[in-house]
Amino acid sequence: MNKKVAFFIFGGTGDLARRKLYPVLEKLYKEGFLKNLVSVYALSRDEGKLEEALSSMDPEFARLIKFYPFDVTKKEDYKIVDEEVKKLGGTEIILYLALPPHLFEHAIVNAGAVLRRHPNPRKIVIEKPFGFDLESAKRLNFQLKRYFTESEIYRIDHFLGKVPIQNILSVRFSNYIFEGIWNKNFIDNIQISATETLGLEGRGSYYDRVGALRDMVQNHLLQILCFLAMDPPAVMSAERIRDEKVKILASIRRFSEEEVDKFAVRGQYSDYIYELGRDSNTETFAVLKLYIENFRWEGVPFYLRTGKKLKEKKTQAVIVFKEIPGNFGKLLGCVPEPNKLIFEIAPSTRVVFRFQMMPPTGLLACTVESSMEVDLARHFGTEPPEAYETLLKDIVEGDQTLFIREDESELAWEIVQPVINRWKDDPEVPLYKPGTWGPKEANEFIERDGRRWVLL
């Protein structure tokens, strides 16, 4: 990377900046990828724990970090951005909004107005959640397009920086044995889960405004669905890949608020309101069933599940293939388990294929389920790079493949908006005990379809 770059990090002393951004930038700098990094501006109201973070950094990199007291809501504070950009000559400016979502619009409008006065190449990076609902997402996109072109906008979803998720496309499109059967003729259902054992962990005021649906389903899980369901692009380029994801989101069957109970279930762990310190109907668990109305996926349900304080921490996508024809099951005297292809994203990074084998008891005995698996770290002899490392490299290089486009962001909100509306004022939230798999309604929801949840 030969061009000069400078990062302006709004929220530069916050948790995200200290835990993720500075360590990754330091690593890329020490490895030589960011050898022409000019400065990292930490803009924040409070210097906070920045000094502590700087003390553990390589001194050469630490010297590049410059702290400025900064209130993102005050227009006069943006004078420092104006003054520093003047000093940077033709350096590329990367604005990184490591901020609470309600502050995004202040930063976009005020920083955008400043950069209009300078000829520097620029990019803006926005953390999720991108908006609070469809209306606010459209408003954010409108403000962004006033000051930046789409090629300068990087709506970040750190899940897409995870190698196991990117590997979904590799496994599909590089192996004809899978891509040839990746359709409604062979696949019965697809399950995408992101379950956690932790509760609020000090994020109560934020989480209670957001809930499980906005926090995980609208962004992370829908993005995994797109990777699983999209058609192969004609050209492996950022725009063509994003075109195919948009086609999937546009093809998902829409349902009305009156139909929500047929397609969604929510829950709240039983001690949530005590942990929060007030009454709340915010969901800490959500399940969505979606159908993609295109030739490849017609009739195949996609189950998206997420929740807090559940039995196990696990992020995975499971492709459940159809059962064998009934006549063969009668011949065996039992029905073999359907084949499953599982992409485990966390806590391990594995691809697992489950299939049937005959035990050593003789021909036509009931088969047993067996597994073949590839652990990515062991197989390739190295741990996959941290998600933010991949994404920050892509931002600097201008590769938007793993970032969310304007139409993509709005379509994702459009899908979940009826659920948001239905749940907003409904005080009846099913409760579940911490350490379980969620409310009983979640099991009933999938069992009504004659299916069950699959976990590694």
Which residues are annotated as catalytic?
A: 220
Q: What are phi and psi of 129, to 5 degrees?
A: -80, 135
Distances (CA, A) of 63 to 37, 40, 41, 67, 90: 11, 9, 11, 11, 21
- Cα dihedral 201, 202, 208, 209 sign: negative
Of 45, 50, 60, nearest to 22 (Cα)? 50
Question: Token digits for 422?
Answer: 């239905």
Q: Is-contact 168 343, C-beta < 8 A? A: yes
Neighbours of 55 (CB within 10 A): 9
Residues whose CB falls within 8 Å of the CB of residue 15, separated by 6 or more in sequence, listed in order: none
Paired tokens of 288: 């969505």
